[in-house]
């Protein structure tokens, strides 16, 4: 029996990912409960598990209500403040849910204890729930981690199989792509993708999931070691960054004020 994947909209630009098979479901980063409960009711689903990537309220705000309403098992990062009770997970551990095995990756940067969940085969293709670490065309702000940590985290995600579906938790794609095109104005793949995403959003459709292969062609934060990106950063800052981490840090600072 195949699995169904659906982004439940929340707040102004969040997605709470739902994955279900038969009548069993999991959700990822439920910042609020109401939309999830409505979706479960409409689809006649039982919530088995709640996966949390990091502690920010727009990812955890609905956890307690959902747990109380459904009895779902909650999973989250080992080293961040989380609504108890939950099973805490660290790098290299795994969980089994919906007949799938999700590997846990510690991907600090956005927050210090941020984790991602990766399954190498969901109906023939890998699946990644990456929270606020990797976005389509962008990456998360560095609220608690360092540029070196985020660059390393993104390197590890970029090394996943190219056809991995990337399920991030915000509809930031159009704004990210505006920045990406300022960094790489000659990138034709980026221009084509931006046009496709504009069409989707004009019909109020999600731009996600993306894929690792796509992000490697259009996302400046996965391309920061390329000469085109490094040169754009140098032009913006007026000086040459001494190493890859400094280039990445300057790129992230540029995006912060773009």
Contact by Cβ (8 Å): 96, 87: no
> 173-183 and 244-256 helices cross at what angle (nearest 10)?
120
Residue 121 assigned ligand-binding role: no
Length of the chain (residues): 258
The DSSP code for 258 is -
Residue 58 assigned ligand-binding role: yes
In b/e form, how buried is each residue of 120-132, taking b as 16+ CB within 10 angstroms?
Answer: eebeeebbbbbbb
Contact by Cβ (8 Å): 83, 52: no
Known catalytic residues are: 54, 56, 58-59, 110, 132, 170
Residue 56 assigned ligand-binding role: yes
184: its two tokens: 């790489």
Residue 55 assigned ligand-binding role: no
Contact by Cβ (8 Å): 212, 163: yes
Residue 110 assigned ligand-binding role: yes
Cβ neighbours around 175 below 10 Å, total: 16
DSSP string, 83-152: -SS-EEE-TT-EEEETTEEEEEEE--SSSTT-EEEEEEEETTEEEEEEETSEETTEE---SSS-HHHHHH
Closest residue by Cα to residue 225 from 248, 253, 250: 248
Residues tagged in the binding site annotation: 54, 56, 58-59, 110, 132, 170
Going by the annotation, the residues of the binding site for Zn(2+) are 54, 56, 58-59, 110, 132, 170
């Amino acid at each position: 029996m195949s699995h169904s994947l659906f982004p439940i909209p929340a707040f102004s630009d969040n997605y709470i990912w739902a994955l279900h098979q038969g009548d069993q479901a999991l959700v990822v980063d439920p910042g609020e409960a109401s939309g999830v409960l409505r979706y479960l009711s409409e689809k006649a689903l039982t919530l088995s598990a709640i996966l949390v990537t990091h502690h920010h309220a727009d990812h955890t705000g609905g956890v307690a209500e959902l747990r109380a309403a459904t009895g779902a098992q909650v999973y989250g990062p080992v080293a961040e403040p989380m609504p108890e009770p939950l099973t805490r997970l660290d790098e290299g551990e795994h969980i089994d849910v919906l007949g799938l095995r999700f590997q846990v990756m510690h991907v600090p940067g956005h927050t210090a204890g941020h984790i991602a969940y990766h399954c190498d085969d969901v109906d023939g293709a890998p699946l990644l729930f990456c929270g606020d670490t990797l976005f389509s065309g962008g990456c998360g702000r560095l609220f608690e981690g360092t540029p070196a940590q985020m660059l390393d985290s993104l390197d590890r995600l970029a090394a996943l199989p190219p056809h991995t579906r990337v399920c991030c938790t915000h509809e930031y794609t159009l704004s990210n792509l505006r920045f990406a095109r300022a960094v790489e104005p000659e990138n034709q793949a980026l221009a084509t993708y931006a046009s496709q995403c504009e069409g989707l959003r004009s019909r109020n459709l999600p731009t996600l999931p993306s894929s690792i292969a796509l992000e490697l062609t259009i996302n400046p934060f996965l391309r920061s070691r390329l000469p085109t990106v490094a040169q754009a950063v140098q032009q913006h800052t007026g000086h040459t960054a001494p190493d890859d981490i400094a280039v990445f840090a300057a790129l992230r600072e540029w995006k912060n004020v773009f």
